[in-house]
Amino acid sequence: MGSREWGILLFLALIWGGSFFFIKVAVSHVPPLTFVWVRVTIAAFALIAYTSLRGEQGLVGWRLMGPMLIVALLNNVVPFLMFAWANTQIASGLTSILNATTPLWGVLLAHLYTDDERMTRNRLFGVIVGIGGVALMMGPAIFGQLGNGLVAQLACLVGAFSYAVAGVYARRFKKMAVSAMSVTSSQLAVSALLLLPVTLLFDRPWTETFPPLGAVAAILGLALVCTSFAYVLYFRLIETSGASNALLVPILVPPTAILLGGLFLGEDLHARDFGGLLLIALGLAAIDGRIFSLWRRPSLRPAA
């Protein structure tokens, strides 16, 4: 990745670093199914309106609806529901750690199903070290929660795996010359249509009381910033850097959330937080490879 791609990666981590907090606020007042449906519906309408105002193509044609249905299920419906429900059962810190396993699944899947994103020792080492850094920042108390809410933890792993499959699968849209904007708006619109009958059947949202202003603000932030805008950046990153690189974002999300809490909310930063950051930086450097390649580069000797 070049400097532009690394910048997008870090910006996505900044955006998604606050998403777990917003999810926790939202699902405290809105049932998970209703929350996810409202989130993707608002995001879809916002992007369709934006593309219409700019005179760009928002939704793809019918011939691409099959692949778009798969991406909608894998990238929105399944993981959004898994993490929204899990946040009602276990701590958001634990869900973010389990979400950080996404790049590990992505590296394995990209190696198996792509020709140009083969697994390397540096890449695998970097992902594992990065996940270790996330775990260190969360602290030993998180590991005491392992086994509690086992079904919720398995749901998070299913969501992380689903994200990884979607990232690898979405590479095909570049070959089809479909823009990141069209992919994002189309998958969100399909997700909203898929979730609507399920939400009406199981949640019956008209029976719920209207959520407080804080929950409404959290849902709007998730829909407009953490979903519609962030997914445009994410699919562009897949286009330019490949799936396994784009899927590195979940490693950076927990440390971003912790640092934001320390800088702006007055939360305590501990020595393990900085140790975790160093591990994550080491992991990302190993994945990038350029720093380590300097050590292996043979020195140039003047000709005799």
- What would the mean pLDDT of 237-254 be, rounded to a whole number? 81
Provide, rounded to the nearest whole percent, the portion of the chain with pLDDT above 70. Answer: 86
pLDDT at 97: 75
The H or E element that residue 216 is part of is: helix 213-223
Q: What is the pLDDT of residue 292?
A: 57
For the cut 70, the answer to whether the pLDDT of residue 290 exceeds it is no
pLDDT at 268: 66
pLDDT of residue 125: 82
The residue extents of the domains of the chain are 3-294
Q: Answer left, alpha or beta for residue 280, where phi above 0 means left and psi between -120 and 50 means alpha.
A: alpha
- The pLDDT tens digits for 51-63 are 888 887 778 778 8
The answer to whether 138 and 270 have CB atoms below 8 angstroms apart is: no
With a CB cutoff of 8 Å and minimum separation 6, the contacts of 157 are: 98, 101
pLDDT category at 304 given cuts 50, 70, 90 is very low
List helix spans (H) across the chain: 3-17, 19-27, 32-54, 65-72, 78-86, 92-99, 102-113, 121-138, 140-143, 150-169, 172-175, 180-202, 213-223, 230-241, 243-246, 249-264, 271-288, 290-296
Q: What is the pLDDT of residue 115?
A: 79
Mean local confidence (pLDDT), 191-209? 88
- Terminal alpha carbon distance of the chain: 38
Q: Quick check: 235 and 72 in contact, CB under 8 A?
A: no
Q: Mean pLDDT score of the chain, rounded to an integer? A: 81
d(C-alpha 256, C-alpha 99), whole Å: 14
pLDDT score at 145: 59
Ramachandran angles phi, psi of 24, nearest 5°: -60, -40
What is the rounded average pLDDT of the residues 125-141? Answer: 76
SS3 150: helix
Mean pLDDT of 5-30: 83
State the residue for tokens 């932030």: 221
Q: What is the pLDDT of residue 234?
A: 87
Amino acid at residue number 241: S
Residue with tokens 């926790």: 24
**Residue 18 CB neighbours (<10 A):** 19
pLDDT of residue 165: 93
In this prediction, residue 294 carries a pLDDT of: 54
Q: What confidence score (pLDDT) does residue 143 get?
A: 61
Tokens 């849209």 found at: 173
Amino acid at 299: S
Residue 272 has pLDDT above 80, yes or no: no
pLDDT score for 94:
72
Average pLDDT value for residue range 185-197: 90
Question: What pLDDT was estimated at residue 254?
Answer: 75
Q: Using the predicted structure, report yes or no on whether residue 298 has a pLDDT greater than 70.
A: no
CB 180 within 8 A of CB 32: no
Lowest-confidence pick of 68-82, 196-210, 234-248: 234-248
Q: Mean pLDDT check: name the lowest of 45-54, 113-122, 145-154.
A: 145-154
- How confident is the model over 136-161, as pLDDT tens digits? 776 666 666 566 677 888 888 899 99
Number of Cβ within a 10 Å radius of residue 10: 14
Please state the pTM of the whole predicted model: 0.77
pLDDT at 264: 64
d(CA 38, CA 242): 30
